[in-house]
Structure 1
Amino acid sequence: MITRMTDLRIRAAGPEDLDTVLAFWKTAAEGTSISDDREGVERLVARDPGALLLAELDGELAGTVIAGFDGWRCHLYRLAVHPQRRRQGIGSALLTAAEQRFTALGGRRGDAMVLQRNEAAHHAWRAAGYAPEEQWRRWVKPLDD
């Protein structure tokens, strides 16, 4: 099904969207995060109300991206498009909206969390102008232990 991009609506998520977003990620997102729960996403939306962007088509959630800005760096997470809506420009539209948000906030470079094993995502990120920086490794420590 090809959808006209003029039918696409991108907006910031509100508290009323969070259950829908969490269910959507189970279908459309690759991998899981320690913050993929109601409490974690509520905290995100409360702290940075414009960070979680939603793409809607015909009133249904078609894609998401988290465009977080900490005042210094621009971080992209959870770029996810519904499997039946992929390759229609939704991911590109979400990234454009995220980049516009960053620019308006004074951001100068976006970085994205992309799973190594997700080859399809690598192609999408490259097509959007992003490239891996092989000299960096992500180091993590869960804080709830």
Structure 2
Amino acid sequence: MHVRSFQLSDYRPVTQLLQTVLSEICYDETMEAFGRQLSWDSELVLVATVDNVIAGIIIGTIDRNRGYYYRIAVHPDHRRKGIGKLLITSLKQRFEQRNVSRILITADEHNEPILSLYEEMGYATQDFFRAFRQLSIVNG
């Protein structure tokens, strides 16, 4: 298992993964934010590979000096193998390298089922960002 920055050649397998894992509405919202984040700072989009096949992705962003875990997706065939935790840890390191003031988890209706994973990793309810205003990658 290996985590690295997103590369242009990953686009098709990543979109296929997102289509497999996310609902149609979530996919549409995620693809818009994904494109915006890639144009702003692709170093905050990470993929996890297993035997050179993309098994997971995490999309992060920095907005007003705060790091946000926006969306994480792991292929069903690769769940419960530590990929999600590795992606979260790897993105946290990137946030820390950039000296963000705080790290938050975007807690929208699509992320609710995985908030327990973040809690398991030491994040608390006050770390969940339930948006009164949308992140820049969501609303442009």
Q: Give the TM-score taking structure 1 as reference length.
A: 0.77
Q: For the Cα contact (< 8 Å) 2:18–2:27, is it kept in 1?
A: no
- After superposition, the C-alpha distances for 1:41-99 in whole angstroms (9 at most, x for unaligned) are 34321210201100000111111111212351101111111112111111110011011
**Matching residue of 1:130:** 123
Name the structure 1 match of 2:30: 36
Structure with the greater alpha carbon radius of gyration: 1
- The residue type equivalent to 1:44 in the other structure is Q
In structure 1, C-alpha distance between the alignment counterparts of 2:133 and 2:28, rounded to whole Å: 11
- Match runs of 1:11-22 below 5 Å: 11-22=4-15
Which amino acid in 1 is paired with 2:55? Answer: A
Q: Which runs of 5+ in 1 are unaligned?
A: 1-7
Structure 2 length-normalised TM: 0.79
Distance 2:71 2:114 in 1: 11
**Could you tell me the percent identity over the aligned residues?**
28
Q: For residue 114 of structure 2, what is the amino acid of its counterpart? A: A
Equivalence for 1:23: 16
Q: Which residue pairs with 2:80 in the alignment? A: 87
**Residue matched to 1:103:** 96
Gaps of 5+ in 2: none
CA distance in 1, matches of 2:3, 2:96: 17
Q: 1:111-138 CA distances to partner (integer Å, 9 max, x unpaired)?
A: 1123457664122111111222399742
Aligned to 1:52: 45
| Count of residues in Structure 1 that have an aligned counterpart in Structure 2 | 136
TM superposition shift of 1:15: 2.2
Residues 74 and 102, structure 1, Cα contact 8 Å, conserved in 2: yes
Cα contact 1:68–1:76 (8 A) shared by 2? yes
In 1: Cα distance, 2:53 partner to 2:10 partner: 11
Letter in 1 for 2:30: D
